[in-house]
Amino acid sequence: MDASKVAEQILVKLGGQENIVSVVHCMTRLRFVLKDETIVDDQAVEQIRGVLGVMKKSGQYQIIIGNEVNAVYKEVIKLGHFGGETANTPQPNKSKMNPFSTILDVISSCMAPVIPALIGAAMIKVLLTVLPMIGWLTESSQTYQLLSVIGDGAFYFMPVLIAMSAAEKFKTNAYYAASLALIILHPNFVSLTTNAKDAGETLAFFGLIPVTYAFYAYSVIPIILSVWLLSYIEPFVDRITPNVTKNFLKPMLVMLITAPIVMTVVGPIGSILGNALSSFIYGIHDALGLVAVGLIAGVYPFIVMAGMHHAFTPIKLSIIATTGYEAFICIAEFCSNMAQGAASLAVSIKSKNKDLKQVAGSSAFSALLAGITEPALYGVTLRLKKPMLGAAIGAISGGLVGGFFELKAFGVATPALITIPQYLEKDRPISLLYILITAAVTIVVSFIATYLIGFEDIVDDHYEEEIENGTISTLTKINKLESPMAGKVIPLSEVNDKTFAGELLGKGLAIVPTKGEVVAPCDGTIDVFFETGHAIGLKTDNGAEILIHVGLETVNLNGQYFTPAVKVGEKVKKGDRILTFELEAIVAAGYDITTPIVITNSHDYLEITVARQGNVEALEEILTII
């Protein structure tokens, strides 16, 4: 795959970079937020070689790429002056989502960033199953005990990881969020609640407000609710605390208000909700037995399409933490993954389309060996429709067999052939044979069913090798850019923000200002002026697009200390005042005043170099642009 060519064609088919607000990626998908989805031809996007499918969900236009997604994402970023979601990125319209979808979206958004850490820890646990079985380690050895700590750490302290991603989701302070998780996991708190429970006593604040016992290690829902609560308390405290006391009074009040509510109300409610959800899911298993395993295995691809599979993660972890194993969802997931891989393998062998054979073959390998099924699901079985039926037949068959053998999973590593050791019971050696039989039945039935049912093969079409002329414009070049403020020039690499330091928004430099004034560095038009006043987008008369971002994270000031002197759309001349800001007040409020100045359409220029180091006055040359 030529990642740069795929990226170029994606941008063209999405309506150009002006139609793209932001883009992020997960393990297999590019996730775009578009200004207008209606102008995009989904079929045209799907026909791009390297694109496996398209999905619209939660306000995102998702393009399934597969294992090469990271390479394509990097090329997309090079072509467009946009990055990941920020506080100023338009968010999906939640009013169009029902409450159930909203809950799933929240759980999915909070779980997804944590999954790599959990998979890494789970694979360590797989090793701890295999190594003693082959005689390389004993469970009493120090090495085993140390590896056990490595494998269990991410799971036991998972609320901390979830807190960080939940803070991103709810746009609140990640360190307050992590602190809440650490509080409910603190050994003394655990000891106090446990001892009170065992003694039949009531632990209480001031002898009045009871603290209900709950076990928060391995949990998910309590900390998500806690961070959601924090997202309301933090701005409230920020509004009521005087500026002169904000540095010390605000953090104290935030934690003093939030933590007791989490201990007494939100945490226990989250624990109850998590247990209720778990009881409901496993009530189905108790009622239907092995039939439930088969049914969930058969419909699991549709659960993935709905985004509900992430909602299963806290349930599985809770059960494993309580009983030591999970015997329902994990088995169904395994059979579903094997079925998707086998169905894709059948397509690869039967298809006469070279591109489809290659896509289906790599998708089969990814699903069977690594447990990554989205390339198979969106690029093969769902795309061709009939193979989905073959995969469902195989998954149901395998689920019934696995349920009959009463298979158990002792970890949550991605279900795949290489993670089979997580299904082995130490005191039940025959469990290895049972899981191999289950895998074999699933793969064989899925393959045969798909091959016999058949599918409408894709006819080779002429593939568009070149981007339409003029879709990526070449702008008139400028020779220099002058400084919009007085201060000290530093390289972007020294800016304490990965987005700027990594030049994701473009090349340039940063200035640590000595005066609270920003002037126009050249003639142009104010293209963007954030309502918070902290960032200005200026488009020069000859096409350069300049971002001046006063301070880091200063968006959180909500416009306080910033006084714009111009409006969006207004023409400015070099030297015109465009913004004033209270430099000392911003610093006193705890913000880094470093101001990145970047050319956001850097890709339109051959070279952008820093022309000056050290101290600089306003309107002195700072960048050379070729």
Q: 335 an active-site residue?
A: no
CB 43 within 8 A of CB 115: no
Q: Report in angstroms the alpha-carbon separations of 549 from 183, 515, 621.
A: 36, 15, 18
Place of tokens 């020779």: 479
CA quadruple 571, 573, 579, 580: dihedral sign: negative
Helical packing angle, 431-453 and 329-350, nearest 10°: 40
Q: CB under 8 Å to 2, separation ≥6 — which residues?
A: 50
Q: Which two tokens stand for residue 385?
A: 């429709």
> By C-alpha distance, which of 78, 63, 74 is closest to 17?
78
Provide φ and ψ at 436, rounded to 5°: -70, -40
Q: Which two tokens stand for residue 185?
A: 């996991």
Give the whole-angstrom CA distance, residue 371 versus residue 414.
6
Give the whole-angstrom CA distance, residue 122 versus residue 413.
5
> By C-alpha distance, which of 472, 577, 477 is closest to 526?
577
The DSSP string of 377-388 is: IIIIIHHHSHHH
Report the 10 Å Cβ neighbour count for 210: 15
Provide φ and ψ at 284, rounded to 5°: -60, -45
- For the chain, report the end-to-end CA distance as a whole number of angstroms: 31
Give the whole-angstrom CA distance, residue 179 versus residue 626.
48
Residue type (1 letter), 197? K
CB 436 within 8 A of CB 366: no
SS3 assignment, position 547: strand
Give the whole-angstrom CA distance, residue 373 versus residue 544.
43
Question: Which secondary-structure segment (H or E) carries 232?
Answer: helix 221-240
Q: Report in angstroms the alpha-carbon separations of 123 from 40, 97, 289, 411.
A: 40, 36, 28, 8
Note the helical H segments in 366-473.
374-376, 382-384, 386-404, 431-453
Give the whole-angstrom CA distance, residue 273 versus residue 277.
6
CB 185 within 8 A of CB 232: no
SS3 assignment, position 450: helix
Burial class (CB in 10 A: 0-12, 13-18, 19+), 575: middle
- Residue-wise over 378-402: b if at least 16 C-beta within 10 A, else e? bbbbbbbebbbebbbbbbbbbbbbb
622: left (phi over 0), alpha (psi -120 to 50) or beta: alpha
Q: CB under 8 Å to 532, separation ≥6 — which residues?
A: 554, 555, 557, 558, 559, 562
The residues carrying an active-site annotation are 26
